């Protein structure tokens, strides 16, 4: 095993026990495999290949999955004892280069010849946040946060240990912009707030979003947008004092931002909603629904997918661990309808379901450890009206 190693197809097909939807299991190995973070598009080469992460060989590495024949190519050969941010890998939208963090550095990986190049080394006393490439392919945006490991015990990928304490400590954080042509890196924003989720618009090269990380009901405000050319930044979807939104992501148009959230009252997070808004806070639309999701994703406002963790009112119901769909109609947001069971444990960050639509919206990519090991799956998306509804915790088939 090593860089360039070819692995035969591991595909398996089965049909969901509730809906009959066809699901293709893309990985099948006695180690965890998972796709990149739900805000990061892992598809490249004109839609023919998918970037996945896998622990096979006793170390986490990047692999390329050929979506035409199922063959895998191992792209990296990394030391298992060195920290790495492969789930946050980001592909340049204009060329076959992926970026990821490795120990103190950012690596540019040529996806064709597998050459690795160090393009940045972080200063002492900081940790990396996520990476994101601007739409023109010219810049890499990323966050740096003050290293508080000597004072706060944390394991954010496993149970969010230290999550509240880190937010309360107000770490000094920066957003940096690396220009590929010159190699120059400059700080474009800094503050004494925990900054995370630096996400570039997929179409507008001057726009990014970022968040103030931490429990949504404790941070001053979660979702922010920024013009990286002017330095201006502003709150997205300010809302009411008792409303909290997050897990923001860009629609494919690079103009609208999707999110979900909750309204808190009487010590209960009982009012769930999902919505979208234009980057300048116009065209805001929101819809209430009774189910809580860890994450949602959509290419536009028309069809939304969520990983279906239900609210406590339905705790214990057999439909809690499903992938749900919502469809925008003239009367509001219809749903949820069940696409399939995911049965994911969410035990660690790599095993979060993180559903994401394919470019054409015909399939949903997700990760699940339904059989013990994390694997990557593709579920076909049939006509919305053909899927069963879920109402008051009960399945309704039309």
In tens, the pLDDT along 365-390 reads: 999 999 999 999 999 999 999 999 88
Is residue 305 one of the residues assigned to a domain? Answer: yes
pLDDT of residue 311: 43
* Span 121-141, average pLDDT: 96
Cis previous bond, 88, omega within 30: no
How far is the CA of 95 from the CAs of 47, 92, 112, 339, in angstroms?
A: 13, 6, 10, 33
How many domains is the chain partitioned into structurally?
Answer: 1
Kindly report, residue by residue over 338-359, the tens digit of the pLDDT: 999 998 888 888 899 999 999 9
Kindly report, residue by residue over 311-336, the tens digit of the pLDDT: 434 444 567 789 999 999 998 899 88
Of 128-142, 185-199, 254-268, least confident by mean pLDDT is: 254-268
**Does 233 have pLDDT greater than 80?**
yes
Is residue 57 one of the residues assigned to a domain? Answer: no
**Does 138 have pLDDT greater than 80?**
yes
What CATH number is given to the structural domain containing 320? Answer: 2.130.10.10
HSE, side-chain direction, 13 A CA sphere, residue 242: 10
Tokens found for residue 132: 């994101």
Is residue 117 one of the residues assigned to a domain? Answer: no
Q: Are 90 and 68 in contact (CB under 8 A)?
A: no
Is residue 228 one of the residues assigned to a domain? Answer: no
Is residue 65 one of the residues assigned to a domain? Answer: no
Distance CA 171, CA 185 (A): 21
Is residue 397 one of the residues assigned to a domain? Answer: yes
Q: What range does the domain containing 286 cover?
A: 15-33+241-398
Q: Which residues of 321-336 are buried (b: 16+ CB within 10 A; e: fewer)?
A: bbbbbbbbeeeebbbb
pLDDT of residue 154: 62
Distance CA 358, CA 83 (A): 30
Is residue 354 one of the residues assigned to a domain? Answer: yes
Is residue 105 one of the residues assigned to a domain? Answer: no
Dihedral sign for Cα atoms in the order 177, 182, 183, 185: negative
Mean per-residue pLDDT of the chain = 91
Backbone angles phi, psi at 395, to 5 degrees: -85, 130
């Amino acid at each position: 095993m090593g860089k360039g190693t070819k692995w035969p197809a591991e595909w398996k097909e089965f049909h969901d026990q509730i809906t009959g939807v066809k699901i293709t299991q893309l990985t099948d190995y006695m180690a965890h495999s998972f796709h990149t973070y739900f805000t990061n598009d892992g598809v490249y080469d004109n839609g023919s290949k998918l970037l996945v992460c896998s622990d096979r060989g006793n170390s986490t590495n990047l692999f390329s999955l050929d979506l035409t024949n199922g063959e895998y190519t191992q792209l990296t050969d990394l030391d298992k004892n060195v920290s790495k941010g492969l789930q946050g890998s980001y592909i340049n939208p204009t060329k076959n280069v992926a970026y990821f963090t490795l120990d103190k550095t950012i690596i540019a990986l040529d996806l064709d010849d597998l050459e690795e190049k160090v393009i940045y080394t972080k200063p002492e006393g900081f940790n990396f946040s996520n990476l994101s490439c601007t739409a023109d392919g010219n810049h890499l945006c990323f966050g740096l946060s003050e290293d508080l490991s000597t004072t706060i015990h944390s394991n954010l990928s496993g149970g969010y240990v230290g999550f509240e304490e880190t937010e309360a400590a107000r770490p000094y954080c920066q957003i940096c912009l690396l220009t590929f042509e010159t190699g120059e890196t400059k700080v474009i924003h800094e503050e004494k707030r925990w900054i995370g989720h630096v996400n570039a618009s997929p179409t507008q090269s001057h726009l990014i979003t970022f968040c103030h990380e931490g429990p949504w009901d404790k941070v001053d405000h979660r979702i922010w947008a920024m013009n990286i050319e002017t330095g201006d930044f502003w709150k997205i979807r300010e809302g009411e004092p008792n409303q909290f939104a997050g897990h923001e992501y860009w629609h494919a148009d690079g103009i609208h931002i999707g999110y979900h959230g909750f309204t808190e009252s009487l010590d209960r997070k009982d009012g769930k909603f999902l919505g979208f808004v234009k980057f300048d806070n116009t065209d805001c639309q929101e819809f209430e629904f009774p189910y809580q999701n860890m994450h949602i994703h959509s290419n536009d406002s028309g069809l939304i997918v969520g990983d279906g963790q239900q609210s406590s009112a339905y705790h214990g119901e057999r439909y809690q661990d499903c992938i749900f769909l919502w469809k925008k109609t003239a009367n509001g947001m219809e749903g949820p309808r069940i696409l399939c069971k995911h049965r994911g444990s969410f035990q660690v960050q790599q095993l979060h379901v993180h559903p994401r639509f394919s470019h054409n919206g015909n399939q949903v990519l997700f990760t699940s450890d339904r059989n013990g090991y994390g694997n990557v799956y593709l579920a076909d998306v049939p006509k919305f009206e053909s899927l069963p509804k879920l109402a008051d915790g009960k399945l309704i088939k039309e």
